[in-house]
Structure 1
């Protein structure tokens, strides 16, 4: 994640979400929980060397993600799923690649929801691998579970799965995507951004963006508990907490006046440290967080318009 500030936590009324009224999402077989954890363990392993943009580990991670998309029936949105770009950050030049897949919607095929998660991380520093399990292998592997769910429950809106590169380098991947011809020619109606979703000492998953859009706020206010997860709206500049509107790739959509929802957790002691490893994630929280996000998407997907 691109956040680089201290988060101040305010206590207050916790709001909850239940987006599947008849069957608890915790009891539903939406995706293979074992496979979700297996993917996260793999992508955050030393084999990927911290997934630094342009490094060998990132190139290996790119192929890993493409292979999963292909296996799950996610079609390429660009040639071979790849959107290559170059940029300079400071005095360093980088070659990077966004990975873009597509699932066509059943009802609104010309309207696209971008479900995004960045796959880059900090790489190797002073001989230590920064594995980035929570930040953000967790978000990328959640994309795979969304895709698995969509195989049996096709979305009404078309979906672009965007595994962005270079988020840690000033959100360059999402910046390039939003300015590219392929994005400009696509009717993007919403962004769901997943960044750090696998651990929380308070069992709290934050959703940012509801205060910027009346329809999304209405859906949130009508929601109830699910999976033991506390889904709390906030960190959007209106509640006294640090404003996460600009904290990750959803910022690029916000700047183009596209509604967004960002799902994430509070920073923790392993944030941007070599100790952000698979062993530190909380498996049950992670599984239930992904189920909660899928259920949230179900409600959103029923909307014809997000304006």
Structure 2
């Protein structure tokens, strides 16, 4: 996650303006939820079971290994991590967006330099895509940044939690949707699995995507952003919880859907501390979801808190709580499943 430095444009905005997911009977009255028949229940359950502890662990031990050299933006180590991610999608048969022509969206050095990125080299966002069966033009984005802060004085900052955990979560969610698709139960809306670069230096990759979207932003239904979900912070030590940030900032429906998904899966404690506009950390503005939110796209940011190894060389895989990582990944998947399969897209009813 990006260090606590609110960009100037954020300040300006602040001052100027297990089972399938079914909502309550009252909420069901608008007929916007996915089908409750046994076929859809089975489809969800089989896909949900693809969020596996051992798969998350296997991939994170690669993504956050010393070989990746801390994955600094545009570095050879980050490119190695990117190659691993792309191979993962190729092996599953998950394609890239046809319009893009590959899995890579180049983020030029010149673009980042103009935004305070110093002399960062060219880098790349990675995009994988599953087309929807009924409403392919409507896009659900599941995002995470795959960069970290590199190597300092010969010490590798592996970034296992930040944001190796989010990176492997997105990969596993993609696998679950792809398995469902192969069984004839693909999502009704399209899903873009977006791994962005340059987050640590200034949210550059997600900003570049929002400035140069592969799919029209008007057709983007929501962004579920995952940035650090493999640890716990001191305030929540030992709890089954996750911070959910921004889920009702633009759409009251998104928070309802997330809570229903949570209740029907692992029933984590959902902590909304960082939604408080008076919170000094201002986390709503500090990860990649914000570059969707500023365009009026509903977002939910899943986060485990600022722990003692944040941005330190000690953020290693050995400290990851894989049980919690699995549960939180399952929650994001269940939320994405509902967003992708409900009758109507969620509405923006807040500003």
TM, length-normalised to structure 2: 0.77
Is the Cα–Cα contact under 8 Å of residues 51 and 326 in structure 2 kept in the other structure?
no
TM-superposition CA deviations, 1:240-261 (whole Å, max 9, x none): 5743211100010011111111
Task: Say if 1:261 and 1:172 are closer, same or farther in 2 by CA, change over 3 A.
Answer: same
Instruction: Tell me the equivalent position of 1:38.
Output: 58
* Residue-pair matches, total: 296
For residues 265 and 282 of structure 2, the distance between their equivalents in structure 1, rounded to whole angstroms, comes to 26
Tell me: CA distance 1:27–1:259, structure 2 relative to 1, closer, same or farther (3 Å): closer
Alignment of 1:29-108 (within 5 A): 29-77=49-97, 78-86=100-108, 87-88=112-113, 89=116, 91-108=118-135
- The answer on 1:279 being equivalent to 2:318 is yes
Q: Which residue of 2 aligns with 1:162?
A: 194
1:208–1:235 contact (8 Å) kept in structure 2: yes
Matched residue, 2:223: 191
Equivalent of 2:149 in 119, 122, 130? 122
Aligned to 1:11: none
Structure 1: distance between partners of 2:200 and 2:307: 17
Name the Cα RMSD after superposition. 2.6
Report the counterpart of residue 211 of structure 2 in structure 1.
179
1:214 corresponding residue in structure 2:
252
Which residue of structure 1 lines up, in the alignment, with residue 38 of structure 2?
none
Residue equivalent to 2:2: 2
Contact 1:25/1:227 (8 A) holds in 2: no
Provide the C-alpha distance between the structure 2 equivalents of 1:123 and 1:70, rounded to a whole number of angstroms.
Answer: 26
Answer 1 or 2: which has greater helix percent.
Answer: 2
Deviations 1:7-61 (A, max 9, x none): xxxxxxxxxx986478997996233321211001111010100000111101111
Q: Is the 8 A contact 2:2 2:287 kept in 1?
A: yes
In structure 1, C-alpha distance between the alignment counterparts of 2:189 and 2:320, rounded to whole Å:
32
Q: Deviations over 1:67-100 (max 9, x none)?
A: 1111122111222201112221354242110001
Question: Which segments of 5 or more consecutive residues in structure 2 lack a partner in the other structure?
Answer: 6-17, 23-40, 181-185
Structural mapping, 1:216-235, within 5 Å: 216-220=254-258, 222=260, 224=263, 226-227=265-266, 229-235=268-274
Give the Cα separation in 2 of the matches to 1:68 and 1:90. Answer: 29
Structure 1: give runs of 5+ residues left out of the alignment: 6-16
The Cα shift of 1:189 comes to 1.4
